[in-house]
Every structure is written in C-alpha cells, then in structure tokens.
Amino acid sequence: MSTVGKALSLLDKLSQLNAEPGLTDVARLCGLDKATARRLLVELEKHGFVEQDPETRKYRIGSAPVRLARVREARYPFLRIAVPFVRELAETSEETVHLAEFSGGALSTIHVEDSPRAHRVIVEIGTHLPFHATASGLAYLAFSGKKQIELALSQPLESFTEHTVTDPAVVRKMIDETIARGFSISSQGLEVGVVSTGAPILSPTGQPIGSITIAAPLVRANAATLNGFGAIVSAAAKRISEKYYGSERPMGTATQARGTG
Amino acid sequence: MSTVGKALSLLDKLSQLNAEPGLTDVARLCGLDKATARRLLVELEKHGFVEQDPETRKYRIGSAPVRLARVREARYPFLRIAVPFVRELAETSEETVHLAEFSGGALSTIHVEDSPRAHRVIVEIGTHLPFHATASGLAYLAFSGKKQIELALSQPLESFTEHTVTDPAVVRKMIDETIARGFSISSQGLEVGVVSTGAPILSPTGQPIGSITIAAPLVRANAATLNGFGAIVSAAAKRISEKYYGSERPMGTATQARGTG
DNA sequence: AAGCACAGGTTCAATATATGAACCATAAGC
DNA sequence: GCTTATGGTTCATATATTGAACCTGTGCTT
C-alpha cells in the first residue's frame, strides 16, 4: 500500500475508535511500526487532520476535515438535504433512524436521529456498516452492480452475533428478497435484539450512494411493523434522492466574490 | 515534503478552488508532475477523500471528510456550540459574520451567516484568511505567542488591495492596537470596500483556536459602529469559548453500544 | 478528413523517500 | 532499584515515488 493510503487508513481507524489512542495503540491498530505511525501522525498533524493532546499525548481527529466537509457540503449538500427526512422518519416511526454514505469502499454512518423512546437503539456516527450484516449494507448491495456483490461476498464474512448470516449463498438470497421487496431487513445481524429496515439512496444513474435505515428493538417489531417501516423508509430514500439530484447542483462558475476577514 | 504532505496539500488546494479542476489543473496548482498528481488523486479517491466526476473527469472533494467531521464534531462540537452565537451576531449587527478555525498552519473560514441586507459582504466557506490582511488573522496573531507572530511576519506579506498593509512594522503596530482594544479591525485589507472587526476564540490556556468576525461594507461603518461591533464580537468570542470548554468534553469511556444497520 | 493541439492517463529506470530493528528517556508498579 | 510499560528517535536498508517521454482520445482548424 502507498504511504498516502496508510495515512488515510490511519485517519479512518482513528475515526472508528471511541477513545483516544496513544502512539503504540495507533501503531498496533494500523499494523504499522511505531516509527512509521509516528511519522504519519506528525505529517497529518501538520495539516490539521490529527491533533495530539498536549497533556495526555493521545491522538484524535483534527479540525481540517471539518473545513473540508463544509466545503463539500456547500457544493453537494447531502446532509443538509437528507437530515430533515431522517428526522421526520424518526418521528413517525418512533425509532432510531440513521443515514449512511458509501465512501472509500465502505458504508459509514454519517447521521443519526434517536428514537424518542426510552428503550431505543443507539447508533454511533462514523461506524462502518458491514454489507452482509446490516440492513443498510444489504440495501446498498442489492442495488449495486454484480461485481460489487461478488467483491463483498468474496471476502470472509465476519460474525458479530450468533444470528449473523455468514454463508454467502444465504446473503445472496437476502439480496434477492431485498430487490423483490424494495427494502432490506436485517435481524440481529450486527447487534443482538435489534432489527433494521433499510433502503438505498440512488443516484440518477441508479447507482446507490448511501442508505437510510430504521433500527428498532426486536420486541417492538413484528412483520406488519417491518413492512410499514419498509414502505416509509423507501419513500424517504426516494425523496432524498429526488431533492439531492433534482434542484440544487450549482458548481460551474461560482460567484468568485472573495470575502474578507 | 513527504508524500503524505503532498496529498494533504492537494486536498487543501482542492477545497480552495471554486470550480472543479482537471488532472492538468491539479498538477499545475500543486506544483506536481501529472503522473504524481494522478497517483495521489487515485489514492485519495480510493479512500473517499476525492471524487472524480465520471462524466467530466474533473476532481472534487469526496465524502470521507464529511464522515470524519461528524466524528470530530460529535466529540468536540465546535460548530454546534459556535454557530448559534454567529447567527445571533449576524442578526444584531445586521452584517455578515464568519467563524474561522486555525488548522494546518492557517486560519480558514468554517461557517458564515449572511447579513440580512441586500448590500452585504459575501464570505466563502473554506477560504484561507491571511494573518496580516484580515481582522480574523490579526485577532488570532495578537493573542498568539511571539514566535507565531514572528513566523507570520517573516514571510512575504502578499498585497490583495491597494490598502493591504504589507509592512511588518505597521502590522506589528496593528497587533499592539488589537491587544489594547481587545478586538481587531482590518479595513480593506483583503477586499476593497470592506471593513472587518474580529476577536479571537481562546482555549483555557489562552491559546487562540480560531476567530469570529463581523464584515461590513465600508460605507455603513463609522468609528462608533466599529467600536460597537468590537464589543459584541468580543463578547460572543468569550461566550463561545466558555461554552465550548465549559460544559461538554466527554471522551474517556464512551458508551461502546455498537449500533446496527 | 487530415492535421493539429491539448486533455487525461500510463510506463519504467533513476532516485528520493519510507521503513523498522534497535535505541534512548521517562514514568509507574512492585 | 529493578521491571515493564509508555512516547519518541536514529540510520542503514529497502521500497515507494518520481517525471520525461510516451500513448490515446477528443475537439477544433484548415
């Protein structure tokens, strides 16, 4: 792998952790030598992608991505468009709803709206969602090309709970069902006691760019409920796509008015 | 410079452009060979930091930074804390207000709230703010250490308008005035006809982490107005700092509840 | 339609850069 | 005061990066 690739993977790993790692942790988690990890961290820090706590010497994501994200969202306002629909869905379903985007070969959570109920599913932002074990992943795969499916199923399928489907043939069947239904269902694939209903967000070419998913405690979700969720989540996905690709889309000759500070 | 540094600089350049560049443009702008630029772009694309438009073959910022930014903001919610104050300031001042953060050796705009008036100053998100030519930069420098000031003033000071102060001695004087006043003023330093009033946002150690600035058309701003702006912008900066460092600050043992999709 | 100019993209020998085992320094635990 | 952690550094070696020259396709000119 190129050095740049290693640095970006490091950044990705850093974003997945739920505690700030030290140098040794980073090296171990990324499978790098301590010296290499350090050089990468220093380089990333120079550019603001990583911050080191001056006291604890632990590392964390820096503020540079925030600036890049703002620029990206100013031109391609995926979150700005999608979040209101996620919120609406969370209100009507009374369950936790999350939005994921495909990026860098994986599907990752970029927004979550919690269920108003006390007993609810918690989803963390930044989580990678395995294709075979989540409704988001299945929804994404189902509407991707054949080669994307092959790629995903040719890798070893990790088991997260005793209910995780790890047989590629069975996953394939779930994908077929997802295509037939128009939405995906994953029961306890990643977490025990949780069932999710997801739909892909498609670009005008039909390529999925992400997904929107309702995650509910298993005890609250019977077949009828899930079908209801499937209908509303599919509708929301479609409306997000229409709004994202329909209106907006500026670019080209920007205003060029340089501001001042 | 390390390869990683080049890749990150490329990303930074990409975020500063107001139109999507092609391969040749990227190479030229970053001072790289076409082959090198391509390799970096491909590597960045693999990880979702860059996207290539499949039709026009132009490059743009990808969605990976959005995910990283969400993770960062979930733990260090600078924008979430600061934006309401920026908005309030824009309403009371009736002028454009923008928020900048220091990252990767430069001060960059990360949020803007426009003036409600028809005749208003436009600030673009992602803009780098030169230290000597903007109120944001002066406010930042004034409360930084001596070595930061030396570093900034030892470099050639670019001239953006006929009013830009490019004499280090004069800039030093403006910095002293900023310290005395508690806020900075920059008149037409970056853009003709615009005057700005800025204050630094300080960490508990006294180190500035960013700035908040009111930018007004020169014709609307007399000395009294500017003093008024200075007072409210300083107050806002202080309140942001207190709220950002005061409450929140979680980390440590996160909930560890892995969500599902 | 032949010729030209310029775009994106690729190749491979030369070379600069990244790597990692061994190292030092410091702190905590016993 | 010894052991075992940590963060951090060094430098000969190994490897990834570089860029001039090279395709290839597209659109414009003649």
Per-residue pLDDT tens over the stretch A16-30: 998 999 999 999 999
* Res A256: pLDDT: 31
Q: Are residues B108 and B133 in the same domain?
A: yes
Chain A residues closer than 8 Å to B194 by CB: 259-260
Domain that holds residue A187: 76-246
Examine the fold and report which residue of B41, B66, B91 is the final residue of a domain before the chain moves on. B66
* Res B257: pLDDT: 35
Q: Do A260 and B47 touch (CB under 8 A)?
A: no
Listed residue (B66, B55, B59) closest to B30, CA to CA: B59
In a domain, B114, yes or no: yes
In a domain, A172, yes or no: yes
Q: Are residues B188 and B157 in the same domain?
A: yes
* Res A247: pLDDT: 60
What's the structural domain count of chain B? 2
Residue in the block written with tokens 């005749």? B119
Residue B161: both structure tokens together: 């308008």
Q: Are residues A47 and A117 in the same domain?
A: no
Examine the fold and report which residue of A11, A37, A66 is the final residue of a domain before the chain moves on. A66
Q: Are A106 and A81 in contact (CB under 8 A)?
A: no
In a domain, A258, yes or no: no
Q: Are A47 and B5 in contact (CB under 8 A)?
A: yes
Q: Are residues A62 and A80 in the same domain?
A: no
In a domain, B257, yes or no: no
Cα–Cα dist A258/B127, whole Å: 8
In a domain, A18, yes or no: yes
Residue B52: both structure tokens together: 């290539």
Cα–Cα dist A165/B192, whole Å: 64
In a domain, A261, yes or no: no
Please state the three-class secondary structure of B119-180 as a single string.
Answer: CCCCCCCCCECCCCCCHHHHHHHHCCCHHHHHHHHHCCCCCCCCCCCCCHHHHHHHHHHHHH
* CATH code of A7's domain: 1.10.10.10
The torsion angles phi and psi of A28, rounded to 5 degrees, stand at: -65, -50
The bridge status of strand B194-202 relative to strand B208-217 is antiparallel
Q: Are residues B102 and B32 in the same domain?
A: no
Beta strands per DSSP E along chain B: 50-52, 59-61, 96-103, 106-113, 184-187, 194-202, 208-217
Q: Are residues B127 and B218 in the same domain?
A: yes
Please state the three-class secondary structure of A88-111 as a single string.
Answer: HHHHHHCCEEEEEEEECCEEEEEE
Interchain CB contact of A43 with B (< 8 Å)? yes
Identify, with chain letter, the residue nearest to nucleotide D21 (CA–C1'). Answer: B35
* Res B249: pLDDT: 52
Q: Are residues B114 and B209 in the same domain?
A: yes
Low-confidence ranges of chain B (pLDDT < 70): 247-261
Q: Do A47 and B9 touch (CB under 8 A)?
A: yes
Strand D, CB < 7 A, residues 137-166 of A: none
- Taking 60 as the threshold, does the pLDDT of residue A13 lie above it? yes
Chain A residues closer than 8 Å to B126 by CB: 67-68, 70-71, 74
- Residue B242: its H or E element: helix B223-246
Q: Are residues A150 and A169 in the same domain?
A: yes
Mean pLDDT across the stretch A48-71? 94
**By percentage, how much of chain A surpasses pLDDT 70?**
94
Q: Are residues A88 and A159 in the same domain?
A: yes
Structure confidence by residue, pLDDT tens digits, B169-221: 999 999 999 999 999 999 999 999 999 999 999 999 899 999 999 999 999 99
Q: Are residues A82 and A39 in the same domain?
A: no
- Taking 60 as the threshold, does the pLDDT of residue A260 lie above it? no
User: Which of B 124-163 lie inside 8 A of A, CB atoms?
Assistant: 124-127, 129, 133-137
* Res B33: pLDDT: 92
* Res A258: pLDDT: 43
* Res A261: pLDDT: 60
* Res A249: pLDDT: 52
* Res A104: pLDDT: 87
* Res B1: pLDDT: 80
3-state DSSP call for residue A228? helix
Q: How many Å is the Cα radius of gyration of chain A?
A: 20
Structure confidence by residue, pLDDT tens digits, A153-209: 999 999 999 999 999 999 999 999 999 999 999 999 999 999 999 999 999 889 999
- Closest Cα of chain A to B123: distance in Å? 4
Task: Say which residue, A246 or A132, is predicted with more confidence.
Answer: A132
Q: Are residues A80 and A149 in the same domain?
A: yes
Instruction: Decide: residue B39, CB within 10 A, 0-12 exposed, 13-18 middle, 19+ buried.
Output: middle
Examine the fold and report which residue of A17, A40, A66 is the final residue of a domain before the chain moves on. A66
* Amino acid found at A240: I
In a domain, B260, yes or no: no
In a domain, A71, yes or no: no
Q: In whole numbers, what is the pLDDT of chain A averaged over residues? A: 92
Q: Are residues B163 and B199 in the same domain?
A: yes
- Taking 90 as the threshold, does the pLDDT of residue A246 lie above it? no
Counting one residue from chain A and one from chain B, the pairs whose CB atoms sit within 8 A come to 285
Mean pLDDT across the stretch A82-107? 96
* CATH code of A81's domain: 3.30.450.40
Closest B-chain CA to A194: B260
